[in-house]
Structures are given as structure tokens and as C-alpha cells.
Amino acid sequence: MEGTEGGSHGDIEEHYRFAAISHPLRQAILRLLADRGEADEGEIAAALDERRARIAYHLRVLVGRDALKAAARGRSRALYRWAPDARWARKLLEEDDEEEPQ
């Protein structure tokens, strides 16, 4: 039954989506890709001065929550870009930006 044990499926999904983009590094990845359009794991790691393994983990989380999508690029690394249905992520990211103190 929906809503009897802590909320509906939509509420749970919203919670996981918010959690996915609440991490500062994930926000930095999303902002970077908003500016660049697309980049591979190595380019993202270099731009953010982070280890590739750390970036890979956070990319998997963002892809898993449908904020990003990975596009195959031949036999080389995947390119990451915003998912077409990630309006929710853009909205949450903008709300977070508005809440930051100036």
C-alpha cells in the first residue's frame, strides 16, 4: 500500500535524486557538464583535479539516478552528458545555488 510505510515510491525516488546531487563533487560534475556539454571521465577528473576512480564512482551514481547519460565513443571511454530527462536535477541544482550565501 502506498503511503502507509513512510511514503510513496515517488517520495523515495525524490529523496534518492536529491541525495545523488547533494554531494559537492557531483554538483561540480554537473556544472562542468552544463558548461562543456560532454566530457569523458579523464577530462572531468583533470578539470576538477580529482582522481579518476573517485570521479568514476560519482559518475555511476549520477548515471544511476538518470541525471547523466553515458554515450559510447567507439572503443575509447564513454562521454558523459546531461540526461534528456534530467530537468529535475537542473532544478535542484539551481535551488541549491539560490540557497548559497553570497
Q: How many structural domains does the chain have?
A: 1
With respect to residue 102, please indicate whether it lies within any of the assigned structural domains: no
102 residues of the chain, pLDDT tens digit each:
344 455 576 788 888 888 888 899 999 999 999 999 999 999 999 999 999 999 999 999 999 999 999 987 666 789 999 999 898 888 888 877 776 655
Kindly report the pTM of this predicted structure: 0.80
* CATH assignment of the domain containing 75: 1.10.10.10
- Give pLDDT, residue 94: 84
With respect to residue 4, please indicate whether it lies within any of the assigned structural domains: no
Task: Domain of residue 60: give its range.
Answer: 9-92
With respect to residue 46, please indicate whether it lies within any of the assigned structural domains: yes
Can you give the three-state secondary structure of the chain, one letter per residue?
CCCCCCCCHHHHHHHHHHHHHHCHHHHHHHHHHHHHCCEEHHHHHHHHCCCHHHHHHHHHHHHHCCCEEEEEECCEEEEEEECCCCHHHHHHHHHHHHHCCC
